[in-house]
Amino acid sequence: MQKRKIIRRILDNITEKLLTISGAVTGIAILFITFFLFTEGAALFQSPQVEHGYALYVNSSNPVNTLQPEETKAIFDAEITNWNTLGGKNSEIKIFRIDDAFQIYPESELGENYELLPAKLGEIISKEENILAFLPTQYAPQGTAVKALAAKNIQPKEYFLGKEWLPTATPVPLFGVLPLVLGTLLVSIVALIIALPLGLGVAIYLSELASDKQRRLLKPVIELLAGIPSVVYGFFGLVVLVPIVQKTLNLPVGETAFTGSLLLAIMALPTIISVAEDALRNTPRAMREASLALGATQWQTIYRVVIPYAKSGISAAVVLGIGRAIGETMAVMMVTGNAAVMPHSLMESVRTIPATIAAELGEAPAGGAHYQALFLLGCILFVFTMIISISAEIISKKKTYKTH
Amino acid sequence: MNKKLSQQIAFIIFKLFGVLVVAILISILGFIIVNGISVINWEFLTAFPNEGMTTGGIFPAIVGTLYLIIGSLLFAFPLGVMSAIYTHEYAGKGWIVKTIRMMTNNLASIPSIVFGLFGMALFVNKLNFGDSIIAGSLTLGLLALPVIIRTTEEALKAVPNTYREASLALGATKLQTIKKVVIPAAMPNIITGLILSIGRVSGETAPILFTVAAYLLPQLPTGIFDQAMALPYHLYVLATSGTDLGASRPMAYGTALVLIMIVLTMNLLASFMRRKLEKKRSK
Amino acid sequence: MKKQLALSLALCSMAFTTSAQKIKGSETVLPISEKAAQVFMKSNSANKVTVTGGGSGVGISALIEGTTDIAQASRKIKFSERQKLQESGKAVKEITVAIDALAVIVHPSNKVNKLTKEQLEGIFTGKIKNWKEVGGEDIKIVPYARETSSGTYEFFKEHVLSNKNYMSGIMSMPANGSIIQSVSQTKGAIAYVGLAYLNSSVQAVSVSFNKGKTFTAPSVANAKNKTYPVVRPLFYYYLTKSESKVKKFIDFSLSSEGQKIVEEVGYIGVK
């Protein structure tokens, strides 16, 4: 008997300890997520600009010592063709890739494990004054007339302010997140502009006008809208919304930022409606009655008394609606066309942060610059949503402050 | 007169908005149901995909989603309930609880793709689970955690304090009170939360993209380290890939319908339970 | 003798029943693997094969990380990827399982039905912006590409764009299926897909790689007689150390039965 009691006490003790531990679990989860995202993401700035394992080489007589990533890209895209644009001599740039070596020398001359390759590459570079060679560092060319261009790491400025997202471009991948950030914001904000009046209208209707019967119909409808999985929305958007947008607006393409915004507006509606309705409903009855007693109509009461009173709650609805839109992945990926371009107009394709992560993460080898760049995108998204959720909290706190 | 008119106009607009929302839901559901209903039959639900996913069924995807639901809730449900019990019954009103509650709120607002990112980094790569049911379940479990914590906390809040006081007055310990009095009273509400999170977990695509989802599995997974197909990812695949989109479209409609049925049944069940409880309480 | 052979075969198959083989990677090779896996498992019920897409890059990095047994790829393994394998002390084997011709497709109403390599390069790098510049109507050109993880994306870049980067902000689609859909809906669209994906909702364009002297339409026959220029091999990659595990499936896919599947799916066999 005594023994059993002791065992029970021990068990109870363990249970209580377990409860304490699990109480901390969300905190731990958040810390873990933050830690992982940021360590992986921050490592990007320790990665070289040039593709991992490669370097750029020139002839030592070449006065150019370093190239900006955009310059390198322009050269390899044949947009810059002369060294003098880069502060060098007035002569044409000769691009050389490792595969070219195999066309000059038969494989037999390069040795079994390519051990003769570095010397041959050195020979090629020494002979050609205007060469720009893009070669693996493993076979770094040997010779006195060879100069490696200074290898810099990726700069935070290039990442956060860069305007081009070309993560697999060779020889220098470009990780400019500006188009993605702006694309995400554009799609989400326009979605909110569409959804806000609609959501607010429905919320007012639900809280002020609807009869019990109508409310009993509308409430589940809104819950169901919130429950539909985003991939189903995406499928619906792809099959129905894209062609409709394209035809009715007579656009060259149907996959536009606007299509994404429309879909996101539908998806953000339930959040906006339910939060705003709660806020409206919380207006004290006495205030309404006072307004009505003074001779105001119901509508005047709503927009002069109820809405101003519920302002902070409505703002929270706005903020949470944006939060829902910003992080949405599948639906947006399926309808916006995913063009990584600085958004110029609503009627063009955009690429959002979540869609970029979803489309590219699988391909990026773990630990590479591309992988890290995607994690950093995750960090940006994480920071965005944190700001949003904290400000929603602060806004709704304000309300309780005011009432007392 | 003018006042009345503007009121009428405003109210008509609001009513129209309400009708519009209903119309949106009906058009989405109607679109899926009308196109999908003819596809669904016994074979579709119990056969494997065949002929480049243009014939056959979606059985492995249904089973995979089932596994993921079970796996993620096996992990998230006890943890979430216990966490809520701690913050609600044990921890005081101090800054610890406040911080935990804030973090729970924040966890709920993190986009699902970020969970996917994290799940891939930690479970798939760091812990070396590979693409597997366990990695996917843990990722989805994290996603369901805030839902469960929040609904459980609300359930606990709804248990009147007099219950606790009565039990304590009879000489029961705090833990006994919780076990014998509080939890049984809160159970129906906690179950509602569980059902809601099933709905959430079964519909998510982004978190499973890099942690578990397989394009095609010709047989069912046999262990927790196997990959699994899942309905939402299968729908994504059917909607975007395939050599013959025209022929695989019906399959996509069917899959979307099955997915919607699962998710919406869960949601309706939860709101039905909640309403019933509310009625009971108001009596 | 026959008995012995049967016995050893049975033993072999028992030894190979260990665990599921995972195939992962290119969406272009996917239809082959998918169908081959289904047929293969009908006759070898003990062998399990799972097939996942994601893109060639996904497949090869999964192979390097050890999360897949076979990587299906629509491009050759990259030098940097080979280096990573070397660093981790693994060696990889390459099998050409089929040949694919890449078809350039446009909207069915488009009057332009032939393009030169130079024109294609101009279009996809963003230098040519309107169809009237290549003999069509006055409509804006809307180029679609695959996501950057796809081997098709890389192959097209290397062989048609002379290694130049795509125009920034090209529409990128996660899978071949959605490319077909988008092109069939979009008047000014142009894109490229594997031959197997070609259907009547889009129009294939004849291409010329000799400055417009001869134009060839993408077809199995033209790819087979090597007059069509944009062809590429499709690969299976596996680690040499896991050869025993995957050999049976690889052999099957190269057998006449496997190659029949390749042709059924719409690609060109290697034998």
Domains annotated for chain B, with CATH where assigned, are 61-230 (1.10.3720.10)
The yes-or-no verdict on residue A194 having pLDDT over 90 is yes
Section B237-250 average pLDDT: 80
**CA-CA distances (angstroms) from residue A352 to B113, B204, C22?**
12, 18, 31
> Lowest-confidence range among A265-279, B142-156, B215-229, C130-144?
B215-229
pTM check: above 0.90? no
Q: Of A361, A363, A362, A332, which Cα lies nearest the Cα of A349?
A: A332
Section B195-219 average pLDDT: 86
Closest partner residue to B52 among C34, C66, C173, by Cβ? C34
Give pLDDT, residue B180: 87
pLDDT tens track for C220-260: 888 888 888 888 889 999 998 888 888 888 999 999 999 99
Give pLDDT, residue C2: 47
| DSSP string covering C215-251 | -B---HHHHHTT-SS-EEEEEEEEEGGGHHHHHHHHH
Of the residues B96, B103, B110, the best mutation for testing chain A's interface (the one with the most A CB atoms within 10 Å of its CB) is B110
Give pLDDT, residue C16: 40
Locate A96 and state its tokens.
């050389």
What is the nearest CA distance from A399 to chain C, expressed in angstroms? 44
Section A111-118 average pLDDT: 77
Q: Give the confidence band of B243 by pLDDT, cuts at 50, 70, 90.
A: low
Angle at the Cα of A139 from the Cα atoms of A137 and A140, rounded to 5 degrees? 60
Closest partner residue to A25 among B83, B108, B256, by Cβ? B83
Contact assessment for residue A76 and residue A170, using Cβ atoms and an 8 Å cutoff: yes
Q: Which residues of A touch C142 (CB under 8 A)?
A: 252-253
Give pLDDT, residue A114: 75
| C32 and chain B in contact, CB less than 8 A | no
Are A168 and C54 inside 8 Å of each other by CB?
Answer: no
| C53 and chain B in contact, CB less than 8 A | yes
Q: Give the confidence band of A382 by pLDDT, cuts at 50, 70, 90.
A: very high
| B138 and chain A in contact, CB less than 8 A | no
| A294 and chain B in contact, CB less than 8 A | no
Are B52 and C51 inside 8 Å of each other by CB?
Answer: no
Section B229-246 average pLDDT: 84
**CA-CA distances (angstroms) from residue B178 to A14, B167, C162?**
15, 9, 71
Give pLDDT, residue A398: 67
pLDDT tens track for C148-194: 767 788 888 888 888 888 887 788 887 778 888 889 888 889 999 88
Contact assessment for residue B211 and residue A305, using Cβ atoms and an 8 Å cutoff: no
pLDDT tens track for A35-49: 888 998 998 998 888
| A381 and chain B in contact, CB less than 8 A | yes
Rg from Cα positions in chain A:
30
Give pLDDT, residue A399: 53
The yes-or-no verdict on residue B52 having pLDDT over 90 is no
Size of interface A-C (CB pairs under 8 A): 110
Give pLDDT, residue C9: 43
Please name each of the domains of chain A with its CATH number.
54-153 (3.40.190.10), 178-397 (1.10.3720.10)
Are B235 and A202 inside 8 Å of each other by CB?
Answer: no
Are C80 and A52 inside 8 Å of each other by CB?
Answer: yes
The yes-or-no verdict on residue A404 having pLDDT over 70 is no
Q: Pairing state of beta strands C203-208 and B49-50?
A: unpaired
Distance CA C133, CA B47 (A): 51
State the alpha helices, DSSP H only, in B86-173: 95-109, 112-119, 133-158, 161-169
Look-up of token digits 């041959």:
A120
Section B94-115 average pLDDT: 84
Q: Give the confidence band of B283 by pLDDT, cuts at 50, 70, 90.
A: low
- Chain A contact partners (≥3 CB pairs within 8 A): B, C
B127 vs C45: which has the higher pLDDT: B127
Contact assessment for residue B123 and residue B72, using Cβ atoms and an 8 Å cutoff: no
Give pLDDT, residue C189: 92
Closest partner residue to A361 among B109, B199, B210, by Cβ? B210
Average pLDDT score over chain B: 87
Give pLDDT, residue C19: 56
Element (H, E) at B31: helix B2-36
Section A315-327 average pLDDT: 87
What is the nearest CA distance from A64 to chain C, expressed in angstroms? 23
Of the residues C110, C156, C178, C186, the best mutation for testing chain A's interface (the one with the most A CB atoms within 10 Å of its CB) is C186
Residue A331: strand, helix, or coil = helix
What is the nearest CA distance from B23 to chain A, expressed in angstroms? 10
Are A339 and C171 inside 8 Å of each other by CB?
Answer: yes
Are A365 and C148 inside 8 Å of each other by CB?
Answer: no
- Chain C contact partners (≥3 CB pairs within 8 A): A, B
Contact assessment for residue A136 and residue A47, using Cβ atoms and an 8 Å cutoff: no
Section A215-240 average pLDDT: 89
Q: Give the confidence band of B282 by pLDDT, cuts at 50, 70, 90.
A: low
The yes-or-no verdict on residue C83 having pLDDT over 80 is no
Section B109-132 average pLDDT: 88
Locate C258 and state its tokens.
């496997």
Are A218 and B21 inside 8 Å of each other by CB?
Answer: yes
Give pLDDT, residue C136: 87
Reported ipTM: the value is 0.91
B243 vs C116: which has the higher pLDDT: C116
